[in-house]
A and B are shown apart, each in its own frame.
Chain A
């Protein structure tokens, strides 16, 4: 396991704080997810319910809370997959899992070429920008993770090419990062998650 020094932003002080980038999603991260991320999430869910929002109104899979760990476990250690996590003040602030082997690019100018596919990227609920969430504690975790995926793509010889399926509410994030939106496909994730890809040229803004 390797640790790198990175910086994220303390949102209330608007100052950079040092954080740690680990080249793994370890047991420690899963425990943080299970006991800290979920606790904040449950606070938000109670808040939504008090305002009359049901789970059906949330556009959110109900099975999610019990099958998450099993899904992460099932791909841990698979050849061709790797994970990264960002830790700050001893708590996991964001995680990402990469598929390095099975996907190819779709954008015309790089179609068919190998890329790094982000099959999972999430940040801790206390860092969310959502109408029902408290003001975020940290910003810039997503920037660190996307930059990491791009760097890994260069290391793999994929020239920075990265692809992912975005959550519907994260679309502007990836657009701001220079990704191209290729839209949804009814055969992928029930047509809910649009596909995004970044070209070598657009990765330069991350360097």
Chain B
């Protein structure tokens, strides 16, 4: 055995290299995306966008109708934004919302999935904040009453 190899040996061994790349020791570390879980999907950021619009509106004590009037946006478009993660908002809507809520139009476009993020970390942070906000918001008395009603209907259906 010598350190030299033949063309035949290379062909015979090549099949073993078909699917994975060798690498040993921490010096050789290379970017590793463990499955699809780490690819931030459009729906995720758009849910955060929806959450932002919803909270910014409620923080001001505005109804959807009031925001629609102030920002000159269709009521239907606003309802879709807040409630449907698949809804792709209009560019003009993003611009109007960024004006009314005084935030960066570029960042809002990224969150809404209309532009690829320049700063992915910021977008991930926004998603985390949005997730946290939904997790800790207690139901208002009215929401609780509506929720109780919903549960009772669902329980009846299960019978």
Q: Which residues of A contact B (CB under 8 A)?
A: 4-9, 16, 18, 21, 23, 41, 44-45, 48-54, 56-61, 64, 68, 71-72, 96-97, 118-123, 125, 127-132, 136, 139-148, 151, 154, 164-174, 176-177, 189, 193, 207
Question: B28 contacts which chain A residues (CB < 8 A)?
Answer: 120-122, 167
Question: A58 contacts which chain B residues (CB < 8 A)?
Answer: 31-33, 38
Question: A193 contacts which chain B residues (CB < 8 A)?
Answer: 25-26
Count: A-B pairs, CB below 8 Å? 184
Q: How far is the CA of A167 from the CA of B10 in the complex (A)?
A: 23
- Main secondary structure, interface of A, reads mixed
Whether A7 contacts B120 in the complex (CB less than 8 A), given A52-B39, A139-B14, comes out as no
Q: How far is the CA of A193 from the CA of B17 in the complex (A)?
A: 20
CB <8 Å contact, A48 and B33: yes
Closest CB-CB distance, A167 to chain B, in whole Å? Answer: 4
Question: B32 contacts which chain A residues (CB < 8 A)?
Answer: 58-60, 130, 167-169
- Main secondary structure, interface of B, reads loop
Other-chain residue from B4, B25, B33, B117 in contact with A118 (beta carbon distance below 8 A): B25
CB <8 Å contact, B25 and A164: yes
CB <8 Å contact, B22 and A174: yes
How many B residues touch the partner, as a band?
Answer: 35 or more
Interface string of B1-43 (1 = CB under 8 A from A): 1111111111101101111111111111111111000111100
Closest CB-CB distance, B85 to chain A, in whole Å? Answer: 16
Q: Which residues of B contact A (CB under 8 A)?
A: 1-11, 13-14, 16-34, 38-41, 45, 116-117, 120-121, 123-124
Given A141-B22, A154-B1, 18 further pairs, Cβ under 8 A: A7-B10, A21-B4, A48-B31, A49-B120, A51-B116, A52-B116, A58-B31, A64-B29, A96-B24, A97-B25, A120-B27, A121-B22, A122-B30, A123-B23, A143-B16, A144-B5, A164-B24, A167-B30
CB <8 Å contact, A139 and B18: yes
Closest CB-CB distance, B1 to chain A, in whole Å? Answer: 6
Q: How far is the CA of A45 from the CA of B17 in the complex (A)?
A: 23
Question: A154 contacts which chain B residues (CB < 8 A)?
Answer: 1
CB <8 Å contact, B121 and A172: no
Q: How far is the CA of A154 from the CA of B41 in the complex (A)?
A: 51
